[in-house]
């Protein structure tokens, strides 16, 4: 699944939300023209925000399709998984992973990040939590079970609680502590809202895990059901977003 998101990089880049500017600024704070390594950079959504903040960014991306798109938008990208990537004596002021760290081998990730960070450099792992309202989530879960009965995601509730995601970020902190190379990890949280029209949500939905590998007929059936649910709400809805981050500086 980690390399399935590049099936339509244009849609992915168009539909996926960016990250709070305050988060980007906080990661870059204290360093003039920082060098940033972006793990699993995808199409470069977060990387472009770091560039706008004055950073020089190198992306690592295992999906060549995503890497090609990011390069076309002005990002330097090397095609590799983080585990296989070779730093060749390069070092960075920040190592970041936006919505991608869960694909990195926990036995390798934090320790390798420590190897390429400069003294006092920051590792920042972050991502979004966004669950649509019950009136949209429940019909989606039902149709997804029908069109993809063998998916391992079918065992999850229609709306996963924030605490489930927070537990995942707490595990990231444990991985960082276990290296012995970092100061005590911090947990950051940013709450915000975004409204979606029917078309905007149906544009984003196929870019999410579990749907990137489905066929056109399966996606069309899901879109019909979810679209009808949004129509019943008046054609749009406002969704609460939370951006979580686990971060630590090299000791």
* Stated pTM of the model: 0.94
Give 59's strand partners: 38, 77
CATH class of 5-131+160-193+241-249: alpha beta
d(C-alpha 35, C-alpha 37), whole Å: 7
> In the β-sheet with 56-61, what is the strand arrangement from edge to edge?
76-79, 56-61, 35-39, 92-98, 117-130, 236-249, 186-197
- The H or E element containing residue 245 is strand 236-249
d(C-alpha 157, C-alpha 181), whole Å: 37
Digitized pLDDT (tens) for each residue of the chain, 251 residues in all? 555 777 889 999 999 999 999 999 999 998 889 999 999 999 999 999 999 999 999 999 999 999 999 999 999 999 999 999 999 999 999 999 999 999 999 999 999 999 999 999 999 999 999 999 999 999 999 999 999 998 888 888 888 899 999 999 999 999 999 999 999 999 999 999 999 999 999 999 999 888 988 999 999 999 999 999 999 999 999 999 999 999 999 99
Q: Is 202 helix (H, G, I), strand (E, B) or coil?
A: helix
Supply 18's token pair: 């960016």
């Amino acid at each position: 699944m980690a390399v399935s998101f590049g099936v339509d990089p244009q849609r992915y880049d168009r539909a996926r939300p960016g990250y709070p500017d305050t988060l980007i600024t906080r990661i870059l704070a204290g360093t003039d023209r920082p060098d940033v390594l972006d793990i699993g950079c995808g199409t470069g959504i977060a990387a472009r925000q770091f560039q706008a903040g004055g950073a020089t960014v190198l992306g690592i991306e295992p999906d060549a399709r995503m890497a090609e798109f990011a390069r076309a938008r002005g990002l330097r990208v090397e095609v590799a998984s983080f585990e296989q990537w070779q730093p060749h004596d390069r070092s960075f002021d920040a190592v970041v992973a936006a919505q991608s760290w869960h694909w990195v081998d926990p036995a390798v990730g934090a320790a390798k990040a420590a190897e390429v960070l400069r003294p006092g450099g920051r590792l920042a792992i972050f991502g979004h939590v966004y669950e649509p309202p019950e009136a949209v989530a429940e019909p989606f879960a039902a149709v997804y079970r029908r069109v993809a009965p063998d998916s391992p995601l079918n065992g999850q509730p229609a709306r996963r609680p924030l605490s489930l995601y927070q537990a995942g970020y707490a595990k990231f902190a444990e991985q960082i502590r276990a290296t012995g190379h970092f100061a005590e990890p911090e947990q950051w949280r940013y709450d915000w809202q975004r409204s979606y029209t029917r078309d905007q949500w149906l544009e984003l939905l196929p870019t999410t895990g579990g749907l990137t590998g489905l066929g056109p007929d399966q996606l069309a059936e899901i879109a019909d059901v979810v679209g009808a649910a949004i129509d019943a709400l008046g054609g749009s809805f406002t969704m609460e977003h939370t951006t979580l981050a686990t971060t630590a500086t090299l000791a």
